[in-house]
Amino acid sequence: MSKESLFIRACRGEQVERTPIWVMRQAGRYLPEYNEVRGKTTFLGLCKTPELAAQVTMQPIERFGLDAAIIFSDILIPVEAMGARLVFDEGPSLPEPVRDASAVDRLVVPDPISTMPFVLEAIRTFRSEMPDTPLIGFAGAPFTLAAYLIEGGGSQSYHQAKRFMYEAPKTVRALLHKLALTVAAHLSAQIDAGAQAVQIFDSWAGYLSPSDYRDFALPFTIQVIEAVAPKGVPIIVFAKGVHACLSELAMSGAHVLGVDWTMPLNVAGQLTEGRVVLQGNLDPCVLLGPKARIEREVQRILNEAKGLRGHIFNLGHGILKWTDPEHLGFLVDSVKRNGVVRVPKDL
């Protein structure tokens, strides 16, 4: 069976010969070959140069034999296309925060083909170079993108975003709707360019209370899913820290839910009642420890996943820049050695 059939069939909960594995942020600073390419340009320059973005997307596949690739880009690329000024130094910043209705009105819903062609060309380049490896496209979820826009960057509390939500809920919902349209168009264009699955990252959703998540995040994630679903590819949602709303997320229309390392997979399986495949969920810091610990954690997670409808092995968040590449290679080998055969319950 091909790598593509393994990953894609796993996303759909179908029978697979073993548990597939890919890793969030698998093309990044922990890899010497990535740093060599990154030294030639800025971070945004790397994102916007299709041949370089495709090259670093291929690097972890070539080195580790992972079962899927994820296109190298950044979740804030569409926000810049909407008209927000984006700066990368040590991290991303948006020097002109969106904190009133006039700022929301100034943002546009961009045409991804004309404003972000470099992402689509990177996808086409990867597909031509590695046609047998399934490629994941991605975007940030509307709430996470809104949080960046309102805060002007990352935050430890997201108090500006929450204050805006509470003081001007209609304005914030207008922003979220505009972001949902942008994200849906961006993901659809990636699929048209050749992405065989897509992931929606809601990295900051865990900062919301369950009621606020249901009011301000989930409806707009569902809006994106419903717009992209007719494309017919698997849709993965990774909403970090949203444990209390996993049951609702399982009814969102997503095929796969990512689970962070603070929620056992068997518990997540009970909450989602077999409606979706689960993805995860090794603590990225485990890769900083000894190989014996990595092996034990792999076996524990695979054991937790045995009763699930389906499982894709991943980290519970992105790989850390301090990770020894040899340890990621060991993780991949361990999952391939220990990965369980999955047969749908109705067979």
| Cβ(217)–Cβ(146) below 8 Å | no
Q: Is the pTM of this model over 0.75?
A: yes
Which stretches does DSSP call E strand in 58-105?
Answer: 69-70, 87-88, 92-93
- Selected catalytic residue, list 29, 214, 275, 296: 29
Q: Reduced to 3 DSSP states, what percent helix, strand and coil does the chain have, rounded to the nearest 5?
A: 50, 10, 35
Domain boundaries, the chain: 3-338
- Selected catalytic residue, list 18, 30, 99, 148: 148
Per DSSP, what are the bridge partners of residue 153? Answer: 93
CATH architecture group of domain 3-338: Alpha-Beta Barrel (3.20)
- Selected catalytic residue, list 12, 38, 214, 296: 38
- Selected catalytic residue, list 9, 25, 127, 309: 25
Q: How far apart, in whole angstroms, are the C-alpha atoms of residue 292 and residue 306? A: 22
Asked if 127 is an active-site residue, the reply is no
Per DSSP, what are the bridge partners of residue 312? Answer: 279
For residue 107, the 8-state DSSP code is: -
CA dihedral 122, 123, 127, 132 (to 10 degrees): 120
Asked if 9 is an active-site residue, the reply is no
Q: How far apart, in whole angstroms, are the C-alpha atoms of residue 310 and residue 265? A: 11
Asked if 173 is an active-site residue, the reply is no
- Selected catalytic residue, list 74, 99, 127, 202: 74
Q: Which helix (H) or strand (E) holds 271?
A: helix 265-272
Q: Which two tokens stand for residue 126?
A: 């990867």
Q: In 3-state terms, what secondary structure has residue 194?
A: coil
Per-residue pLDDT of the chain (347 residues; tens, 9 = 90+): 444 579 999 999 998 999 999 999 999 999 999 999 999 999 999 999 999 999 999 999 999 999 999 999 999 999 999 999 999 877 899 999 999 999 999 999 999 999 999 999 999 999 999 999 999 999 999 999 999 999 999 888 899 999 999 999 999 999 999 999 999 999 999 999 999 999 999 999 999 999 999 999 999 999 999 999 999 999 999 999 999 999 999 999 999 999 999 999 999 999 999 999 999 999 999 999 999 999 999 999 999 999 899 999 999 999 999 999 999 999 999 999 987 655 444 43
Rounded to whole angstroms, what are the CA distances from 269 to 136, 138, 277? Answer: 23, 24, 9
Per DSSP, what are the bridge partners of residue 266? Answer: none
| Cβ(138)–Cβ(104) below 8 Å | no
Asked if 25 is an active-site residue, the reply is yes
Q: How far apart, in whole angstroms, are the C-alpha atoms of residue 167 and residue 63? A: 50
Asked if 166 is an active-site residue, the reply is no
Q: Which helix (H) or strand (E) holds 213?
A: helix 210-216
| Cβ(99)–Cβ(160) below 8 Å | yes
At which residue do the structure tokens 């301090």 appear? 322
